[in-house]
Chains A and B, each alone.
Chain A
Amino acid sequence: MEYFLELFFGGLTRGSIYALIALGYTMVYGIIELINFAHGEIYMIGAFTGLIVAGVLTAMGFPALAILAVALVVAVVYCSAYGYTMEKIAYKPLRGANRLSPLISAIGMSIFLQNYVLLAQTPNFLPFPNLIGEFEFMEDYAHILGSANLVIILVTAAAMVALTLFIKYTRMGRAMRATAQNRKMAMLLGVNVDAVISLTFIIGSSLAAIGGVLIACHTGQINITIGFIAGIKAFTAAVLGGVGSIPGAMLGALVLGFTESFATGYISSDYEDVFAFGLLVLILIFRPSGLLGKAPTQKV
């Protein structure tokens, strides 16, 4: 039972992180129908920015939780800036081009960002300081649910609620939903579509930044390649839930997190990634619209 609970919370933690990244994919896809391949790299940049902030502040002697807060804020600011710039350079000039061009441009962006961090920082694994620490009230449960896991789950839940409220009740959120439904019509009705698209990239990147810093605290080391695998898995989560659907991305991320956690716990840990990719391939073949997505209609 304890093993089961440990795997359950492990899955919940993974799922939370995947959800944070998957939302960026799904929101961008919902609005401009592009798989933003470079989204995983934004997450990686978030982790690196967090590491740099943590390094500088540790040298100055700040307490751990204050460092975590500052690292999160700085990572969110920088990742938003990266997301915004990326959209302006690599995707905006391609609006109206055929479907393959933005996708290839996104792959190029992903390769570029990965190697940019490689050259600017290091190709090696870097140790990431544990900024979360161990809470005293959690001591009795530490073998099932670590403090870092708890923080990740809570922060993710808060971010999800905030995002849902934003999309549902604010003016900009309504503009986003309108743009996702029909970009041309939204434009005709006076929605500033360019601003909506920029905002989508900014929100998606901020969530990825939060995910990057938190998971780095949890795993304790980062490297330039973490973005690729996390990006693919988060994309799997987004597809699983139905790409374009925000609750779908959350659900899909949890399903993927649990699948991985239980499959590695009960079957074999060598094939951890194979389970994720296998699930992705199966879902796409048998239910391409995902769990909560609408079946796409083909317009001629």
Chain B
Amino acid sequence: MEGFKKSLLACIWFMFLTFPLVVIRVDTAEKTVQWRWMHMLWVGLGAFLLSYVWRFMLKRKAMGRSATNPDGTPVVPFLQRLSANPPLARSIMAVIAIGALVFPWLFSTYQTNIMISAMIYIVLGLGLNIVVGLSGQLVLGYAAFYAAGAYSYALLNHHFGLGFWTALPLGAGAAALCGIILGIPVLRLRGDYLAIVTLGFGEIVRLVLENWNEFSMGPSGVSGISRPGLFSVELSVDGATTYIYYLMIGLVALTIFVINRLKNSRIGRAWLALREDEIACVAMGVDRMKTKLTAFALGATWAGMAGVVFAAKTTFINPASFTFMESAMILAIVVLGGMGSILGVSLAALLILLLPEYLRAFSEYRMLLFGATMVLFMVFRPQGLVSSERQRYEFKETKESQG
């Protein structure tokens, strides 16, 4: 009964709250007013039901994460069971790998293109994951590095006719340079201030690209960027798409491999230490400047590479592709996937890119749901879809250690 009352209150409150925006629509030019009372009914109904869910989730959160089976044994997460069973994990990996390899032969070019986009976002997510997830520096201007890569290839190709493979390292280098240029002045900043400065940086880069017509051709962007050719053989559109697809698979695999290795390296641990407690980390003798700058530069490098591939894939870029919303979306991928978790970020990128493609009805509400999901994840599951596992040393008890 108590719950019913609360839900009723929530229902009335949200009907009041959304009343002017959802119900009334005015046309100031025609001086007409349109009343949409049905919408109010939906809002009320939704608020009533969702408030039950909200309270249930809050209660569950308050009880702690002591999820147990009916018989009292703790529930082992699926992934943990998986990693405890290497043969099964390996066979699942093999199935995914084979599926990914034959994908362009089974599906249309259109589908392949969507998969390429999804993989670009995997690389972007994993790159941002280095900066945000591993080293804990909240960067909100990540799209600027992505733009640096894309524009490097586009402009070098347009002015000097440079090919894809020459531009790939150059684009990555340009983005890394941007990362260092941004990284040096903001070394002293942390948390919120850092977030805002990087946001400002991202916006400045976009605004400069938009306004500096002689350099970047302004808001109309660069078009006619050439697709990558295979050993100087010109490929058809379909062929080039398939080619880029395999290239992206290679890039994703490389990214995952490198980040996996980095994570447990000396620098990776320095990042984790920096994320957990900056003062303690510096006190332990970690070079803060070097650690932060490598995080910025490496994170930016992946964005640069993704940018080059993006430019090659679409053959046309303009500043509108690199807005704050882009940065926010990549951040959403990292947050939803689970900061620091490679598998989680990849899954989140696939989900976020593919769901709206295949659920057309849902695509209108995509950004709305993004926002809501970001809030809900922070409230109920701050560790993301897949929480990243910290490396632990396990001491196996042997007779010698006991004796």
Are the C-beta atoms of A284 and B211 separated by less than 8 Å?
no
Contact, CB under 8 Å: B20 / A74 = yes
Q: Say which residue of B29, B33, B204, B374 sits within 8 Å of A127 (CB atoms).
A: B29
Whether the pair B378, A104 counts as a contact (CB closer than 8 A) is: yes
A170 within 8 A of B: no
Q: Which of B22, B196, B325 contacts A35 (CB 8 A)?
A: B196
A281 within 8 A of B: yes
B375→A277 contact, CB < 8 A: no
Does residue A274 face the partner (Cβ distance < 8 Å to B)?
Answer: yes
User: Within 8 Å CB of B24, what residues of A?
Assistant: 52, 55-56
Is B279 a contact partner of A298 (Cβ separation < 8 A)? yes
Q: Which of B299-336 contact A (CB under 8 A)?
A: 324-325, 328, 331-332, 335
| Min C-beta distance of A286 to chain B, whole Å | 9
B100 CB–A CB distance under 8 Å: no
Q: CB-defined interface of B158-191 with A at 8 Å, one 1/0 digit per residue? A: 0000000000000000000000000001101101
Contact pick for A115, options B32, B197, B335, B368, CB 8 Å: B368
Q: Is A18 an interface residue (CB 8 A)?
A: no
Least Cβ distance of A216 to chain B in Å? 11
Per-position 1/0 for B131-151, Cβ under 8 A of A: 000001010100000000000
Whether the pair A284, B196 counts as a contact (CB closer than 8 A) is yes
Q: Assign chain A's interface to a size class.
A: 35 or more
- The docked-state distance in angstroms from the alpha carbon of A108 to that of B361 is 21
B79: Cβ under 8 A from any A Cβ: no
Given contacts A101-B378, A127-B28, A239-B196, 12 further A-B contacts (CB under 8 A): A49-B21, A55-B24, A58-B31, A59-B33, A82-B17, A98-B382, A103-B195, A111-B371, A112-B368, A115-B367, A274-B204, A298-B279
Q: Which of A116-124, A136-144, A157-165 contacts B (4 or more CB under 8 A)?
A: A116-124
Q: Per a CB cutoff under 8 Å, which of A112, A280, A284 touches B372?
A: A112
Chain A residues near B379 (CB-CB < 8 A): 89-90, 93-94, 105
Q: Within 8 Å of chain B (Cβ to Cβ): is A133? A: no
Residues of A near B368 (CB, < 8 A) are 111-112, 115-116, 119
- Give 8 closest A-B pairs by Cβ, nearest first: A55-B26, A108-B374, A112-B371, A111-B371, A105-B378, A277-B200, A115-B368, A108-B375
A223 vs B58: C-alpha distance when bound (angstroms): 35
Chain A binding surface SS class: helix
Provided the pairs A111-B371, A115-B371, A300-B279 are in contact, do residues A121 and B204 lie with their beta carbons within 8 angstroms? no
Smallest CB-CB separation from B132: which chain A residue?
Answer: A100
Of A107, A113, A116, A280, chain B has the most CB atoms within 10 Å of the CB of A107
Query: Which residues of chain B (192-209) have a CB below 8 Å from chain A?
Result: 192-193, 195-197, 199-201, 203-204, 207-208
* Nearest chain A residue, comparing its CB with the CB of B57: A93
Residue of A nearest to B39 (CB): A120
The distance in angstroms between the C-alpha atoms of A273 and B370, with both chains bound, is 27
A→B interface (CB under 8 Å): 33-35, 45, 48-49, 51-56, 58-59, 74, 78, 81-82, 85, 89-90, 93-94, 97-105, 107-122, 126-129, 228, 232, 235-236, 239, 270-271, 273-274, 277-278, 280-281, 284-285, 288, 298, 300
Is B58 touching A78 in the complex (CB atoms < 8 A)? no
B191 and A99 within 8 A (CB): yes
A-B pairs with beta carbons under 8 Å apart, 12 shown: A54-B26, A55-B27, A89-B379, A90-B379, A97-B382, A111-B328, A273-B207, A278-B204, A281-B204, A285-B189, A288-B188, A288-B193
- Shortest Cβ distance from residue B119 to the other chain A in the assembled complex, whole angstroms: 24
Kindly state the separation between the CA atoms of A149 and B254 in the bound complex, as whole angstroms: 57
Please tell me if the beta carbons of B200 and A280 are within 8 angstroms of each other in the complex: yes
A59-B32, A90-B379 known; A111 and B27 CB under 8 Å?
Answer: no
Q: Answer whether A100 and B138 are a contact pair too, CB < 8 Å, given A107-B328, A107-B331.
A: yes
Q: Is B257 an interface residue (CB 8 A)?
A: no
Question: If the complex has contacts A55-B33, A271-B211, are A129 and B374 also in contact, measured as CB distance less than 8 A?
Answer: no
By a CB distance below 8 angstroms, the chain B residues around A298 are: 279
- Smallest Cβ-Cβ distance to B283: which chain A residue: A300
Is B13 close to A, CB under 8 A?
A: yes
Chain B residues near A102 (CB-CB < 8 A): 378
A121 and B325 CA atoms in complex are apart in Å by 20
Q: Is the CB of B192 within 8 A of A103?
A: yes
Find chain B residues with CB under 8 A from A277 CB.
Answer: 200-201, 203-204, 207
Q: Cα distance A280–B202 when bound, in Å? A: 13
| Nearest-Cβ distance from residue B82 to partner chain A, whole angstroms | 27
> What's the nearest-Cβ distance from chain B to residue A245, in Å?
15
User: Which residue of A has the minimal Cβ distance to B218?
Assistant: A270
State whether B28 touches A78 (Cβ < 8 A).
no
Candidates A48, A114, A232, A281; contact of B21 at CB < 8 Å = A48
| Known A104-B378, A288-B193: A52·B371 in contact at CB below 8 Å | no
Closest partner residue, chain A, to B370 (CB atom): A111
Q: Which A residue's beta carbon lies closest to that of B43?
A: A120
A107's partner among B200, B211, B374 (CB-CB below 8 A) is B374
- Least CB distance from A59 to B in Å reads 5
Closest chain A residue to B10 by CB distance?
A85
